[in-house]
Amino acid sequence: MQPLYLALALFLLLNLGAGMWRVLRGPTAADRMLAAQLFGTTAVAILLLLAQATANAALRDIALVFALLATMTAVAFVRRAWPNREANHESK
Amino acid sequence: MGAVFTEFPWGVILILLPVTGGILCFLWPQIAKITGLFIVFVVALLVVGLAWQIFNNGVYRHAVGGWGAPLGVDLYADGLSLLMLAITALVGMGVSVYSAAYFKHEQAAQFWPLWLLLLAALNALFLSADIFNVYVTFELMGLAAVALVALAGSREALGAAMRYLLAALLGSLAYLLGVALLYHGFGTVDIALLVERAEPSPVIWAALGLMGAGLLLKTALFPLHFWLPPAHASAPTPVSALLSALVVKASFYILLRLWLEIFDPLVGGAGVEQLLGLLGAAAILWGSVQALRQTRLKLLIAYSTVAQVGYLFLAFPLVAAAGVSAWSAVTYLVLSHALAKAAMFMAAGNLLCFGGHDRITDLDRVVQRLPLTAAAFALAGVSIMGLPPSGGFIGKWLLLEAALMQGRWDLVAVMILGGLLAAGYIFKVLGYAFTQADISHESKAVPASMEWTALLLACGAILLGFLAVPVLSLVGIGDPFGIGEVRP
Amino acid sequence: MSTAFLYALVGTGLFALGLYALIVHAHLLRKILALNIMGSGVFMVLVALAKRTGDAPPDAVPHAMVITGIVVAVSATALALTLMLKLNAKSGHAELPDDRRE
Amino acid sequence: MNPNDYLSAALLITGAVFFLAGTLGLLRFPDVYTRLHALTKADNVGLGLMVVGLAVQAESWSVVGKLLLIWWLVLIAGASVAHLIASGALQRGIRMWKP
Amino acid sequence: MTLLTWIFDSLLGLSLLWLAWRALACPNLFKAIVLFVAFGLLMALAWVRLAAPDVALAEAAIGAGLTGALLMAALAKLHPTEAHNDFAVPPEKNVTKVWSWQWLPAITILLVTTGLGYVVLSLPPYATGLSTEVAANLEISGASNPVTAVLLNFRGYDTLLEIVVLLLALLGVWSLNSADLDHKAAPGIVLDTLARLLTPIFILVAAYLLWVGAHAPGGAFQAGAVLGAAGVLLLLAGWRPRTGLMALPLRLVLVIGPAIFVIVAMLTLLIAGQMLEYPPTQAGALILILETAATVSIGVTLAALFLGGDPRKNNRNKNHT
């Protein structure tokens, strides 16, 4: 099973890399934030896979902290950093 | 009774007490001033206790946690650390008395905890025998110093504090990377063990480059001095005094320690000393010329610090042939500059407080109106210029002697030129202090304690000129310079 | 190349990228990011080289040092951000005076 | 490999496919609302399948509990963030895509 | 399998470098922050690959969670009203001065880095550092997790100073700014529920990390950071503590970590003769006390840093900032 876990972790890492394109491209701040949100979930999945692959239970605690803090940046974004007018940048 | 004195852990209390004081001042701001003054005076007494102990028992070593190096962190004090602690306590007392009158209301409540934590950081740094622990004390010192500069609140001060913070953090990171390489190369961060284990290797060179660059940036050696003049000039006056007198010396002290103990035996003679000497010479000339060109008194004094830092580095290329007098000179320059520069900044602060500005050309007959302050400035100037019988004279004379002994006429010329330029900028100020300004300004009363502390510190710088024998025998305890014995 | 050296090289690369950005960029927020990335690079060198223990568990001392360093870094970042905001409120710019192009 | 392993492998691979779908949706969909839709598939179903796939292999019930807790937290976070971003985008007048 | 991990490591390393480069080079500050948060996420994965789960936990909580929120809030205050161009810095303002000689730092840094890389590779491929010493004394240190043993016992003095650094940062922030206590936009039902639902879980997880730290990855910093994150979430949801609590009670909680540390240092100095020398039988209990106090202080300090100013000065300077 171990090769499968590692292969899937690698696959998810590649996925994450592909998602980077959305951060770079935007066009709105919300789009970039969405991509970051997906990275968080992907990282949780990678950690769980690595925990199983290396039989290291501590990695699940790290995944737990990640899952717990998954909202932080996004909430900070929505409540603080999101500019009020963005419509005029949406149309391309 | 004697045993109590010689066994008491003075060094540890020197660190823990100011931390406690900082916490108390933060909790109860209304008694911050009293607490702060009390703690600083007790710290001075503790330094006396530590001196007594070192005199009797030789070097002081404390294995924190009882582990000892390499697993634990050691505290270590020899003659050199003791002198740094003593000058910190001395200048610290002066600055505290001065600040008690200088800061009012809310600013006072903010100043005292920051200053006590800065004091704790300085004491911890001078007592540290562990290069990673030094990194932590650097961060403690840096954040405290930056917050103190920003207390002035003006736009210039905030910009200067920001620049200072960036420079301090960059310096710390370069230093820390050096620590990482040394640890992974030799398996310890204890200085004494590194001395035993280190051997010439690429790691040593990389660590020297990184730590050296980081420390030179923190010490503001030309051309890495860009952050110093704005920060030292725009900070509140007591803070300027602390920064120029002590904080800059702290990183120099670590540089000196690391060079003497670890790097010099391994890579000495490979041109590093010459490079440092060259930069020092450039700092003297550049700093002095810039000081001469300034129109604001505090900026002038800040550029003078850039120049005086240069003198410290002139010793490096002279050590090979004249170790004794070169290192004695460095010790003396550090001590006398700390006292003189603190006094000078305080005098400038008094003038600023008196006339509401520090434009040199508009100083209005301050000699008649603030005679004590003018005297303090003049006496501090004597030491900065290196005229006898001041402490600055002893330091510069020893350095000159070392340069003559080795026939380094270039360095002799730089020193003489630097002295002349220093005389130029100090007499420029004194000249305007005697004359009447074109426009007279309204003036405010300066508290007597602020005038007297400036004068007393300046007198200390002069007095140092008479104490060469005891001071130089004290610094020899524990042989920090590795030359057996230090003679004046 | 072993994992330890691979990541140690990545660490030096991060240090270099951060240093370059710190020098070249004027905006203070960018400089603060640059210092954080430099710090991450240093921490990575520390931790990566601690893994040169073969199959045995890695050396724990650098791990502890890095945790200390992370707390120091977040403290410094918070102070730097506040200073930047205050400077921006006073001067209208989030760049240092002589880095600014007028 | 025993039957458990086959089951868990199937679940994990299907989960990974949902992650891929989420990423592709994030990249290919035309506006923030549709991308939100794609993203939450990875959060909910992708991670969910992975968690179940790993739970099959878990050595103890406490591990299963922790896995489920993690999934639950990610679900809550995903749902709240999706709501906050969608309503924020509407408020700010970000236009919906019309085919 | 080794091939797979090798590919994974290389990909992760390259992604880290690429993210750092993009975060530092892209003209849009918001984008830079999002990339930096992603960078923190991948850093945590790298720590895992380097068998440093304690560091990964700290990075996950501080690097990926709190620093991101701090940066976002700072960016928002930097441009309070303007939404123009999505926080893009005008290109001419992005780069210092007229760096027509921009290649100079680039080439210097490239040379230095090449040298550093060479030095790193010159290190022996096998070295144990201090791990034998740590293992030999782990038994009497009071913690079976070596990282906790180093942080709280072997090098506890560093930790003492480092908690003071955190307090000092807060002192600096407070002397610069007053707290923005009035900013209370209605959070909306979703955010409100989220904060109410998650806060107890944050506290439980913090307590768990604190407890588990003695024998497994975790400890005071990680727990404190999680606690701090709970505070930040509450602040973001619009919650503000009563002003009565913002004076001495808040300050007492802020200093309890450093204060207990100093007290233990003094007591051990008196009793054992060396600062922070714990009697082996009580080392475990002492470490737990120190860690609990530190966790509370770290958590509250981090939340207060996010609030970004002195709450005592709120009323007087309301129209100042």
pLDDT 10s digits, B147-188: 999 999 899 999 999 999 999 999 999 999 999 999 999 999
The C-alpha of C91 sits at a distance from chain B's nearest C-alpha, in angstroms, of: 7
pLDDT score recorded for residue C98: 67
Contact list, E115 vs chain B (CB under 8 Å): 206
Please tell me the distance in Å from A38's CA to the nearest CA on chain E: 10
Tokens 């000065």 locate to: E313
The confidence score (pLDDT) of residue D96 equals 78
Kindly state whether residues B251 and B392 are assigned to the same domain. Answer: no
> Measured between CB atoms, does D28 come within 8 Å of chain E?
no
Answer whether B209 touches C (CB < 8 Å).
no
Q: What is the mean pLDDT of residues B419-433?
A: 92
Domain residue limits, chain A: 2-83
Does residue B38 share a domain with residue B112?
A: yes
| Structural domain containing residue B454 | 269-488
Is residue B351 located within the same domain as residue B437? yes
- Does this model's pTM top 0.90? My answer is yes
> What does the pLDDT read at residue B322?
65
Asked if A22 has any chain D CB less than 8 Å from its own CB, the reply is yes
**Taking CB atoms and an 8 Å cut-off, how many pairs form between chains B and E?**
140
Residue B188 · residue B71 · CB < 8 Å: no
Burial label, E247 (beta-carbon count in 10 A; 0-12, 13-18, 19+): exposed
d(CA E138, CA B222): 47
Cβ distance B158 to C91 less than 8 Å, yes or no, reads: yes
CA distance E310 to chain B (A): 11
Paired residues of E310 in beta bridges: E178
All residue ranges of chain C with pLDDT < 70 are 1, 98-102
Last residue of a domain, one of B221, B248, B267: B267
pLDDT at position B420 is: 94
Q: Do D84 and E188 touch (CB under 8 A)?
A: yes
Residues of A in contact with D92 (CB under 8 A): 82-87
Q: How far is the C-alpha of B478 from the C-alpha of E253, rounded, in Å?
A: 43
Residue range D27-40: average pLDDT? Answer: 85
Domain count, chain B: 2
CA contacts within 13 A on the Cβ side of C49: 31
Average pLDDT for B372-385: 94
Q: Considering CB atoms only, which of C65, C69, C79 is closest to B165?
A: C79
Please tell me which residue of chain B has the smallest CA distance to C91: B155
Half-sphere exposure of E135 (CA within 13 A, CB side): 9
Specify the pairing of strand B60-63 against strand B74-77. antiparallel
| Rounded-to-integer distance, Cα B277 and Cα B267, Å | 16
What does residue B32 show for φ and ψ, rounded to 5 degrees?
-60, -45
For residue B103, give the 3-state DSSP assignment.
coil
Chains that touch B (3 or more CB pairs under 8 A): C, E
- Option in B146, B159, B181 nearest C87 (CB): B159
State the Cα–Cα distance between residues E300 and E313, nearest whole angstrom.
18
Query: Do you know the residue count of chain D?
Result: 99
- On the question of pLDDT at B439 being above 80, the answer is no
Q: Which of B13, B64, B226 to mutate to test the interface with E (most CBs of E within 10 A)?
A: B64
How far apart, in whole angstroms, are the C-alpha atoms of residue E193 and residue E187?
A: 9
Over its length of 321 residues, how does chain E's per-residue pLDDT go in tens digits?
A: 588 889 999 999 999 999 999 999 988 888 899 999 999 999 999 999 999 999 999 999 887 788 989 998 899 888 765 443 445 444 444 444 445 567 888 899 999 999 999 999 999 999 888 999 999 999 899 899 999 999 999 999 999 999 999 999 999 999 998 877 665 567 788 888 888 889 999 999 999 999 999 888 989 999 999 999 999 999 888 887 777 777 888 999 999 999 999 999 999 998 888 889 898 888 999 999 999 999 999 999 999 999 888 887 654 444 433
Q: Is A11 exposed, middle or buried (0-12, 13-18, 19+ CB in 10 A)?
A: middle
pLDDT of the residue at E98: 46
- Determine whether the interchain pair E116/B206 forms a contact, defined as Cβ–Cβ distance below 8 Å: yes
B47-87 pLDDT, tens digit per residue, is 999 999 998 888 999 999 989 889 999 999 999 999 999 99
Domain identity same for B223 and B345: no
As a whole number of angstroms, the distance between CA A79 and CA A76 comes to 5
- The pLDDT, as a whole number, for residue E318 is 41
Q: Does A81 touch chain D (CB under 8 A)?
A: no
Specify the DSSP element, H or E, that contains B74: strand B74-77
pLDDT band at B210 (very low <50, low <70, confident <90, very high): very high
ipTM of the complex: 0.94
Of B244, B267, B290, the residue at which a domain comes to its end is: B267
- Are B387 and B464 in the same domain? yes
Q: Are residues B477 and B488 in the same domain?
A: yes
As a whole number of angstroms, the distance between CA C91 and CA C93 comes to: 5
* Residue ranges of A 36-65 with Cβ closer than 8 A to chain D: 37-38, 40-42, 44-45, 48-49, 52, 57, 60, 63-64
Chain E residues within an 8 Å CB radius of B73: 155, 157-158
Contact B143, E169 (CB under 8 A): yes
pLDDT at E320: 39
Instruction: Determine whether the interchain pair A52/D39 forms a contact, defined as Cβ–Cβ distance below 8 Å.
Output: no
Residue A78 near chain D (CB below 8 Å): yes
How far is residue B430's CA from residue D18's CA, in Å, rounded to a whole number? Answer: 80
Mean pLDDT value across residues B434-439: 74
Provide the residue type at E275 as one letter: M
Using the Cβ of B226 and the Cβ atoms of chain E, whether some distance falls under 8 Å is answered with no
Chain B stretch 102-161, residues whose beta carbon is closer than 8 A to a beta carbon of chain E = 106, 110, 113-114, 117, 120, 124, 132-133, 136-137, 139-140, 143-144, 146-147, 150-151
**Does residue B281 share a domain with residue B253?**
no
Q: Which of C53, C58, A69, D65 is nearest to E217 (CA)?
A: C58
User: What pLDDT is stored for residue A84 in this prediction?
Assistant: 67
Identify whether residues B236 and B199 lie together within a single domain. yes
Query: Which chains reach chain C with 3 or more Cβ–Cβ distances below 8 angstroms?
Result: B, E
The reply to whether residue A65 touches residue E57, judged by beta carbons under 8 angstroms, is yes
Chain E partners within 8 Å of D83 (Cβ): 190
Please answer yes or no on whether E123 and B120 come within 8 Å at the CB atom: no
Average of per-residue pLDDT across B27-33: 92
Over residues B274-283, the pLDDT tens digits come to 999 999 999 9
Q: Does D70 touch chain E (CB under 8 A)?
A: no
CA–CA distance, B87 with B465 (Å, rounded to integer): 15
CA distance, residue D21 to nearest chain A CA (Å): 10
Q: How far apart are CA B263 and CA B319, in angstroms?
A: 14
Rounded to the nearest angstrom, the minimum Cα separation between E177 and chain A is 18
Asked if B262 and B291 sit in the same domain, the reply is no
Look at C71 and E126 and tell me if their CB atoms are within 8 Å. no
Chain B positions touching C84 (Cβ under 8 A) are 162
Structural domain span for residue C14: 3-98
**Where does the pLDDT of residue B340 fall: very low under 50, low under 70, confident under 90, or very high at 90 and above?**
very high
Judged by a CB distance cut-off of 8 A, whether residue C51 touches chain B is no
DSSP classification of residue D94: P
Residue C37: which of B169, B131, B217 has the closest Cα?
A: B169
Q: What are the chain E neighbours of C23 within 8 Å (beta carbons)?
A: 96, 105
Say whether pLDDT at B300 is over 70: yes
Interface test with D, best of E190, E198, E201 (most D CBs within 10 A): E190
Average pLDDT rounded to a whole number, residues D68-89: 89
Give pLDDT, residue C101: 43
For chain B, first and last CA: distance in Å?
A: 34
Q: Which residues pair with E28 in a beta bridge?
A: E88
> pLDDT exceeding 90 applies to what percent of chain B?
70
Q: Which two tokens stand for residue E125?
A: 């491929």
Better-predicted residue by pLDDT, E243 or A51: A51
Whether residues C7 and E168 touch (CB distance < 8 A) is answered with no
CB contact under 8 A, C3 and E36: no
Please report, for the domain that includes residue C26, its CATH number.
Answer: 1.10.287.3510
* Touching chains, A (3+ CB pairs < 8 A): D, E
Give yes or no: residues B419 and B333 share one domain. yes
Q: Is the pLDDT of residue B486 over 50?
A: no
In 10 A of CB D92, how many CB atoms?
Answer: 18
Q: State the pLDDT at residue E64.
A: 72
User: Backbone phi, then psi, for E310, in 5-degree steps?
Assistant: -80, 115
